[in-house]
Amino acid sequence: MLQLLIIGYVVYEIIRLSNLPDVGSYATSQQSQQSVPPEKKAK
């Protein structure tokens, strides 16, 4: 039973890590959006 739980968790982690590049690009786009408001204030 514990082995099945560990295997399921490992598979879940692999799937989650395979989706990390999308999450990383989303976080990068958030940072770029945060740097935009000061530019709007400057205008």
Predicted local confidence at residue 2, as pLDDT = 94
Grade residue 1 by pLDDT with cuts at 50, 70 and 90: confident
The pTM of this model reads 0.42
Predicted local confidence at residue 37, as pLDDT = 58
Q: Nearest 10 degrees: CA dihedral of 15, 12, 17, 14? A: -70
- Dump pLDDT digits (tens) for 12-37: 999 888 876 665 555 555 555 555 55
Determine the Cα–Cα distance for residues 27 and 19; give it in Å rounded to an integer: 13
3-state secondary structure of 19: coil
Grade residue 39 by pLDDT with cuts at 50, 70 and 90: low
